[in-house]
Amino acid sequence: MPLVMQKHEMPEQDANVRRNNFDEVALGYTEELALAEANRCLHCKVPHCRKGCPVDIDIPAFIAKIKEGDFEGANAKIKEASSLPAICGRVCPQENQCEKYCVMGIKGEPVGIGRLERFVADYCMQNCEEKIEKTVKDDAQKVAIIGSGPAGLACAGDLAKKGYQVTIFEALHTAGGVLSYGIPEFRLPKDKVVKPEIDNLRKMGVKIEVNSVVGKLFTVDELMQEFNFDAVFIATGAGLPHFMNIPGENLNGVYSSNEFLTRCNLMKAYRFPEYATPINVGKKVAVVGGGNVAMDSARTALRLGAEKVYIVYRRSEKELPARREEVEHAKQEGIEFKLLNNPVAILGDEKGYVKAIRCIKMELGEPDASGRRRPVEIPNSEFDIDVDTVVIAIGQGPNPLIQSTTPDMQTNKRGNIIADEETGKTTKEGVFAGGDIVTGAATVILAMGAGKKAAKAIDEYLIEKRNK
């Protein structure tokens, strides 16, 4: 059988249709497509793909099961390493992870590992009666997990499997962190994917306390001393929006991407007034930034009825930090890229509403310490773009609440918690941390990887503690 050098295309909604709805863009493989794609895997003796996966899924093994038509078996194989495959199959940047190392990628396109993972997880959610057993033991040691995003969920899943009593404390009213408030429905459906995966954790016996702001309702010390938790894992993410500190940022119509996406995803403002939370999107929208969050915000604005949406980014297309696929999707939907432009001010009308964004043109200078070419302003090149909404998506920092109420735990100068990369150990006894709160804003799967590593270290710590 000749080798198929190209990935099998995944069916997706037509760009002209999908830009008007919040339904998922990528429709997923059919059984036939999944089998065909699985057959592209060569089952290398040394499977390099595995070293690209932050949670070390046995990729060849689960693909082998797909080839046999045993989708349930494939799912079980993935679940040995990852508790959230339907999510990771969708949002991992596979081109920088597993698929980057696939041998097929040298001469052609790598095997669509992410698409296959997604297929298997979706297939099982729809067709299999997955029996989740309660694994938590009522007399086991207690672990508190702060934050229910990818790092917290992954850590909770692994600790529950080992029998520990796990309680997740979540500040918002819905669990999931960025999976619930950040990534939009059209990339990651909430009721179909996020909720069932979190419910599976509950079935294992994990308790999830929503509306619980640690640092306000109780401190880390109180959790350990008064509520008798034996260990704490902090996974509060990077949820503090950065603004640009340019004039006009407090005008009406200027949103942080966090606010914009939270209103839409978590509060369902796109279904206003059925849902009570409003959102203001004008006819012309500028989104500042070039990462996935910027793409999500721009594509959300379009779906909320904007006629023209611009991405304003200070570097060139090559440096866009967003996933290639997201950039392509955004372009197909008609989003215009204003590259090598940096906002210097937001202009308002007499009533305090945005009417334009003033940008300056940039050119790329010498590479900086990170290896990226530094953008430099071209003098006297300012120009205005007429817009009535601006979304700032230039990144997020760590929320300081927990750190400021836990004085004996060290943080770095950016406010991130200092923790050991392999174990998540912080400078405070019994307290571990992982995900974006340690690394700064990164990816879902890296956060999950950190959660799993911490679970392993917490297990070792607790074994030692009970044997003392």
Partner 1 sequence: MFKILNKKVLHENILQFTLEAPLIARKAEPGQFVVLRVNEYGERVPLTIADFDREKGTIDIIFMVIGASTTVLASLNAGDSILDLVGPLGKKTDIRPDMGTVVCIGGGIGVAPIYPIARKMKQVGNHVITIMGAKNKDILILKDEMEKISDEVIVTTDDGSYGIKGFVTTVLQQLIDKGIDIAEVVAIGPVIMMKTVADTTRPYNIKTIVSLNPIMVDGTGMCGGCRVQVGDETKFACVDGPEFDGHLVDFVNLMERQRMYRPKEEIEKDHICRLAKKVEEMEEK
**Rounded Cα–Cα distance for residues 402 and 415 (Å):** 11
> Looking at beta carbons only, is 54 or 253 nearer to partner 1?
253
Q: Does 172 bind partner 1 (CB under 8 A)?
A: yes
The three-state (H, E, C) secondary structure of 40-105, written as one string: CCCCCCCCHHHHHCCCCCCHHHHHHHHHCCCHHHHHHHHHCCCCCHHHHHHHCCHHHCHHHHCCHH
Q: Which of 280, 332, 405, 423 binds partner 1 (CB under 8 A)?
A: 280
Q: Which of 56, 76, 95, 212 binds partner 1 (CB under 8 A)?
A: 212
Q: Which of 3, 27, 210, 463 binds partner 1 (CB under 8 A)?
A: 210
Residue 8's alpha-carbon distances to 106, 139, 149, 274, in angstroms, are: 17, 50, 31, 40
> Looking at beta carbons only, is 41 or 267 nearer to partner 1?
267
> Looking at beta carbons only, is 178 or 193 nearer to partner 1?
178
Q: Does 351 bind partner 1 (CB under 8 A)?
A: yes
> Looking at beta carbons only, is 181 or 432 nearer to partner 1?
181
* Amino acid occupying residue 447: A
Residue 295 CB, nearest approach to partner 1 (Å): 19
> Looking at beta carbons only, is 76 or 240 nearer to partner 1?
240
Residue 65's alpha-carbon distances to 17, 72, 84, in angstroms, are: 35, 8, 19
Number of Cβ atoms within 10 Å of the Cβ of 267: 19
**Contacts of partner 1 in 36-75 (CB under 8 A):** none
**Contacts of partner 1 in 439-468 (CB under 8 A):** none
Q: Which of 11, 69, 278, 305 binds partner 1 (CB under 8 A)?
A: 278
* Amino acid occupying residue 253: G
> Looking at beta carbons only, is 271 or 372 nearer to partner 1?
271
**Rounded Cα–Cα distance for residues 175 and 180 (Å):** 7
> Looking at beta carbons only, is 272 or 456 nearer to partner 1?
272
Residue 322 CB, nearest approach to partner 1 (Å): 21
Residue 284: half-sphere exposure toward Cβ, Cα within 13 Å: 11
Q: Does 345 bind partner 1 (CB under 8 A)?
A: no
**Rounded Cα–Cα distance for residues 170 and 149 (Å):** 9
Q: Does 249 bind partner 1 (CB under 8 A)?
A: yes
Residue 463's alpha-carbon distances to 146, 231, 428, 456, in angstroms, are: 21, 12, 18, 11
**Contacts of partner 1 in 3-42 (CB under 8 A):** none
**Rounded Cα–Cα distance for residues 350 and 354 (Å):** 10
Residues forming contacts to partner 1 in the complex (CB under 8 A) are 171-173, 210-213, 216-218, 239-241, 243, 245, 249-250, 252-253, 255-256, 258-259, 262-263, 267, 272-278, 280, 351-352, 399, 401
